[in-house]
Structure 1
Amino acid sequence: MQLPPRTDRRRISSLIGAAVTALLCVGGLASPAAADVGDSSPTPQLGNGLALTPPMGFNNWNSTGCSSDFNETMVKGIADLFVDKGLKTAGYQYVNLDDCWALSQRDANGKLVPDPVRFPHGIKAVADYVHAKGLKLGIYTSAGTKTCNSKGFPGALGHEYSDAQQFADWGVDYLKYDNCNNQGVDAKQRYTTMRDALKATGRPIVYSICEWGSNKPWEWAGDVGNLWRTTGDISDNWSSMLSILKQNLPLAAAAGPGHWNDPDMLEVGNGGMTDTEYRTHFSMWSIMASPLLIGSDLRKASAATYDIVTNDEVIAVDQDPLGKQGTVLSSDGGRWVVVKEMTDGSRAVALFNETDSPQHISTTAAAVGLPEAPAYSERDLWQHRTYNTAGSLSATVPAHGTVLLRVSADQKWATHPSAVDVGVDGSLLVEAGKAAPLTTTVTNLGRTPALRAGNALTGPAGWQVKAVSGTSAPAVPTGESLRTSWQVTPPAGTATGAYDLTLTATYRSATGERLRAVLPLTTHVVVAPPAGRSSLSDLPMLSASNGWGPVEKDTSNGEAQAGDGHPLTIGGTVYTKGLGVHASSAVEYYTGGACSAVTAQVGVDDEKGTNGTVTFEIWADGKKVTSTGVLTNAMPAQPIKADVNGAQTVRLVVTDGGDGVDSDHADWADATLSC
């Protein structure tokens, strides 16, 4: 489940001690002894024949939480939408209930009781309705005495066999088993007991282990569950999604048919990210063979949201029966290449741009494991177009974007037009009233020529966008480029901020087909920082991403709305100036080549008690200049200083120290820029 932002799950899961553990595990409350899974292989299999491809469905928590809107009518409505909006046809089948479906007390016989207000006809009636639609129902509980909600609904610890039988009797097809209030009972034992309880019912129930990656389930849960969470809860922002993506990517060896890494549900459509970022989210979850559980309110979802989550070509990457999770081929400078082997011998290739500006990302057919061939077919899974390539797989990818390709060494390549890479060289940072140079490129990646090639660059009304070299060529041969130089001038007085440019390339294939490639660009109108020493909290941010809530100026991070923080306090010392952030975080400033140093006192804010571990980094023009290493809440403020002489941009980064981000309130106290 998704907890409220300020909830510290380590506190919720606090240990009560050996006496309680003994009572639960030895004194007869626990079910029959769990099998020993300590010597299991790296990729064992549960063998229940379920989830042979990653489960696809819906979970209500992110859209309704424990509100009164979560009820029988809503759940039935979601099942209706699965059918009406094409989700069922696209492969989604599980309609999953999260926490708050039960009363807070069991009945006199120790049985779970569905909330009669939310579910007046009971869970079985809901399951019957969902099944009648050709869909399946999922339910939630915790491997503890209570679930994760603060209202304290009953968990299954000590009631595994009874609860599992109730779920089976109701017609439940999927169980999400959380980790709160676990009384310190060994995780392997708790989750194995429920595995055995589910098996004893005789009903096929997909088993989702949700212990947040705390005990490295990818090392032991392959023969315990069908999927296991590898991370803490996701939230609907770029920083959270990126952090979870990076934690899940290295675990590919553990995944396969019937046993999957689960980086948590999809946030697509919840409103905290752009459509470009949501396409990246969906693309990367799919290439990682992750469960695809929609977490947005489908009753209110936009057409763009439905377009993303029903993209059948991207879903096919996730659902490929070979069941391999994509692996990282390269990630230099935030330019990621992730590759997934497919059943038919093709490769899915994600060119993912982590950074805040367009990036040229490339690899080759040979590097992704395809055999040598004269040329290859390259399918763009978001454009739904197929091209030919001589072997180069590359694209200029927008900030936070992903180009998802499916590449094969087939004999049909000659029937497709050449792939082209439309790119840009030069800075997209401009000052009002000043001309900034920019160079655009149209590069032919294909085996056949790109004929009658041309390109055009357009900007906002009133901007001067002038070509100072040729914009067309009769033909662009394989591996060569049409290069055009431009001058871009925003009008004097243009306000600082982000503005859109559009680069459009046109060309013809060898058979005369007209083609068009569009690269959206974001340029920033900036102001050079003043001479002397300035507090960073007084300067405009070029960009900012944050784990929870906005980056705060001169207060700590309050995790929700702007202005909800407290005085910056590290090791008992209060600071009046600085930035309050929450890992993972990145804050970027324009320095215009005129600044020399960044200094700050950094550490975990005292408001998180004894919790929180982070690392502070300073980057200049995309290169890391300095880092503190891991800092804990027990440490006083640490000085950090970076030489940024000549840099156009400076970025302040905070990453998780390795124990999850729940308590990672980080302060850049007395942060200054010298120019």
Structure 2
Amino acid sequence: MKVLRLVWISSLLMFVLMAPAVGHALENGLARTPPMGWNSWNKYACKGINEGVVRETADAMASNGMKDAGYQYVIIDDCWQTGRDAEGNIIVDKDKFPGGIKALADYIHSKGLKFGIYTDAGTMTCAKRPGSIGHEYQDARQYAAWGVDYLKEDWCNTLPGQSSESSYTLMRDALKASGRPILFSICEWGSTKPWLWAGPVGNMWRATGDIQDCWDCKKTWGGNGVVQILDLMNGIESYAGPGHWNDPDMLEVGNSGLTTTEGRAHFSMWALFSAPLLAGNDIEHMSADTKETLLNKEVIAIDQDGLGQQGRRVKKDGDLEIWSKQLADGGRAVALLNRGTTAAKISVAWTDIGYPNTLSASVRDLWAKKDVGRKTDGYSAEVPSHGVVMVKVMP
């Protein structure tokens, strides 16, 4: 009995030490699990976005299984605004959004979804539309009147010496004063290490530069591809948790730059990161492979796990890596990741993920959607090039 008690105490201590610190989260009651939805930028950018695209996307999300899988937010990124009127109120681009923002928000709400919009902390947005500096409270009141549920605030065209922490804190206070619960997404690209200060300021913050639609951008034309972002996310996992998340940027699944195998690895790793899952593709016309990736409920469950712990890299051997995430039920999500150009066998020992090797544990392959039996010591699998085998290990 004494031995069992010691084992229980040791397990509890490990759980407490490894659990995310939630005391520093923004106290607005939102994003207790990572937000899920769709953002317009990766597919449509500035030129292609309009009211019709947003309505069609909401229609598709409500009917194709995405809403049922947990996707909630329909978010317009940059280029919905054109200027300000004489009173300083922000003006909607009537060519792109002839029905106005409130009517669009109402339509999205009628589908059982939530509506998100975009602004910038500087004088202009990244696409040279009006920013929010000097208008934070005025804009927040307008967003609330329109029925906005989610605000992304970018960091382009800021003033010399402008403080990111002060700027985003000001918008946080403005959103609170608006009287409407609005999830706050900070987007300063990880430039001022927001994980150190943004917990009580935003519900999520970009921990990296913008994602590009490629697996390894350094080997093509530069920028942050999937593998570059993996390296940037590793090591900051202790700062994330319910209500406050490290954001590795939106998903590129279903766009032209990734293969199906790469897209599933990308989606798996974002789930292991407890990252916001914001699709960035053409939802209405996506392929069967893309839909199967975005709607894998077993992988989504790893992202949405109630413990809210961000996974971390526990082993690396060249291009072969093992990542692990502790789950609320005592299990582990494990990603066997192959960054290399040829298929390879990857083996995880139970000691790599915090278990004794004598433990007998059940293993379920989350992409094959099948149990692979009980294992002692560890698990091995053949992993395709630029691919992942993702399993749940349960004692």
Same fold at TM > 0.5: yes
Q: Give the conservation status (yes or no) of the 8 Å contact 2:22–2:242.
A: no
Unaligned runs of 5+ residues in structure 2 are 1-20, 217-224
**Deviation digits for residues 405-464 of structure 1, max 9, x if unmatched?**
00111xxxxxxxxxxxxxxxxxxxxxxxxxxxxxxxxxxxxxxxxxxxxxxxxxxxxxxx
Question: Which one of the candidate residues 50, 56, 59 is aligned to 2:30?
Answer: 50
Give, in angstroms, the shift of residue 119 of structure 1. Answer: 1.2
2:200 is the counterpart of 1:220: no
In the alignment, the residues of structure 1 paired with residue 154 and residue 119 of structure 2 have an alpha-carbon distance, to the nearest angstrom, of: 6
1:52 is paired with a residue whose SS is: coil
2:39 is the counterpart of 1:62: no
Question: Which one of the candidate residues 133, 142, 147 is aligned to 1:157?
Answer: 133
In the alignment, the residues of structure 2 paired with residue 42 and residue 314 of structure 1 have an alpha-carbon distance, to the nearest angstrom, of: 23
Write out the 4+ residue segments of structure 1 that deviate beyond 4 Å after TM superposition.
Answer: 371-374
2:128 is the counterpart of 1:143: no
Give, in angstroms, the shift of residue 375 of structure 1. Answer: 2.3
2:372 is the counterpart of 1:387: yes
Give, in angstroms, the shift of residue 332 of structure 1. Answer: 1.8
Question: Which one of the candidate residues 103, 110, 134 is aligned to 1:125?
Answer: 103
Question: Which structure 2 residues correspond to residues 70-109 of structure 1 after superposition, within 5 A?
Answer: 70-103=49-82, 105-109=83-87
Q: Give the conservation status (yes or no) of the 8 Å contact 1:287–1:340.
A: yes
Q: Give the conservation status (yes or no) of the 8 Å contact 2:349–2:357.
A: no
Q: Give the conservation status (yes or no) of the 8 Å contact 1:378–1:387.
A: yes
Q: Give the conservation status (yes or no) of the 8 Å contact 2:333–2:393.
A: yes
The residue aligned with 1:324 is 309
In the alignment, the residues of structure 1 paired with residue 111 and residue 170 of structure 2 have an alpha-carbon distance, to the nearest angstrom, of: 32
The residue aligned with 1:404 is 390
The residue aligned with 2:345 is 360
Give, in angstroms, the shift of residue 374 of structure 1. Answer: 5.5
Give, in angstroms, the shift of residue 347 of structure 1. Answer: 0.4
Give, in angstroms, the shift of residue 250 of structure 1. Answer: 1.6
1:387 is paired with a residue whose SS is: strand
The residue aligned with 1:563 is none
In the alignment, the residues of structure 2 paired with residue 367 and residue 99 of structure 1 have an alpha-carbon distance, to the nearest angstrom, of: 43
**Deviation digits for residues 102-130 of structure 1, max 9, x if unmatched?**
11x20111001111111111111011011
The residue aligned with 2:226 is 241
Q: Give the conservation status (yes or no) of the 8 Å contact 1:43–1:253.
A: no
**Deviation digits for residues 1-22 of structure 1, max 9, x if unmatched?**
xxxxxxxxxxxxxxxxxxxxxx
Give, in angstroms, the shift of residue 43 of structure 1. Answer: 6.9
Give, in angstroms, the shift of residue 394 of structure 1. Answer: 1.5
**Deviation digits for residues 369-422 of structure 1, max 9, x if unmatched?**
23666621100000000022223222121111100000111xxxxxxxxxxxxx
In the alignment, the residues of structure 1 paired with residue 202 and residue 241 of structure 2 have an alpha-carbon distance, to the nearest angstrom, of: 12
In the alignment, the residues of structure 2 paired with residue 293 and residue 114 of structure 1 have an alpha-carbon distance, to the nearest angstrom, of: 24
Q: Give the conservation status (yes or no) of the 8 Å contact 2:204–2:246.
A: yes
The residue aligned with 2:151 is 175
In the alignment, the residues of structure 2 paired with residue 256 and residue 332 of structure 1 have an alpha-carbon distance, to the nearest angstrom, of: 29
Cα 1:324–1:374, aligned 2, differ >3 Å: closer, same or farther?
Answer: closer
The residue aligned with 1:202 is 179
In the alignment, the residues of structure 2 paired with residue 321 and residue 361 of structure 1 have an alpha-carbon distance, to the nearest angstrom, of: 28
2:237 is the counterpart of 1:260: no
Give, in angstroms, the shift of residue 329 of structure 1. Answer: 0.6
In the alignment, the residues of structure 1 paired with residue 23 and residue 191 of structure 2 have an alpha-carbon distance, to the nearest angstrom, of: 18
Greater strand fraction, Structure 1 or Structure 2: 1
In the alignment, the residues of structure 2 paired with residue 63 and residue 249 of structure 1 have an alpha-carbon distance, to the nearest angstrom, of: 27
Amino acid paired to 1:100:
C
The residue aligned with 1:189 is 166
Amino acid paired to 2:302:
V
Q: Give the conservation status (yes or no) of the 8 Å contact 2:41–2:280.
A: yes
TM-score of the aligned structures, taking structure 1 as reference length: 0.53
Amino acid paired to 1:390:
T
Q: Give the conservation status (yes or no) of the 8 Å contact 1:140–1:175.
A: yes
Give, in angstroms, the shift of residue 44 of structure 1. Answer: 1.7
**Deviation digits for residues 73-109 of structure 1, max 9, x if unmatched?**
1111111111111000000000000000011x20111
Give, in angstroms, the shift of residue 366 of structure 1. Answer: 3.5
Q: Give the conservation status (yes or no) of the 8 Å contact 1:174–1:208.
A: yes
The residue aligned with 1:618 is none
The number of equivalent residue pairs is 365
In the alignment, the residues of structure 1 paired with residue 102 and residue 331 of structure 2 have an alpha-carbon distance, to the nearest angstrom, of: 43
2:348 is the counterpart of 1:369: no
In the alignment, the residues of structure 2 paired with residue 124 and residue 42 of structure 1 have an alpha-carbon distance, to the nearest angstrom, of: 34
The residue aligned with 2:292 is 307
Greater helix fraction, Structure 1 or Structure 2: 2
**Deviation digits for residues 591-612 of structure 1, max 9, x if unmatched?**
xxxxxxxxxxxxxxxxxxxxxx
Identity %: 53
In the alignment, the residues of structure 2 paired with residue 157 and residue 247 of structure 1 have an alpha-carbon distance, to the nearest angstrom, of: 29
Question: Which structure 2 residues correspond to residues 562-577 of structure 1 after superposition, within 5 A?
Answer: none
Question: Which one of the candidate residues 138, 142, 149 is aligned to 1:166?
Answer: 142
Question: Relative contact order (C-alpha < 8 Å, sep 6+): which is higher?
Answer: 2
* Larger Rg belongs to: 1
**Deviation digits for residues 258-281 of structure 1, max 9, x if unmatched?**
000001000001011111100100
In the alignment, the residues of structure 2 paired with residue 362 and residue 342 of structure 1 have an alpha-carbon distance, to the nearest angstrom, of: 20
In the alignment, the residues of structure 1 paired with residue 320 and residue 198 of structure 2 have an alpha-carbon distance, to the nearest angstrom, of: 32
Amino acid paired to 2:126:
C
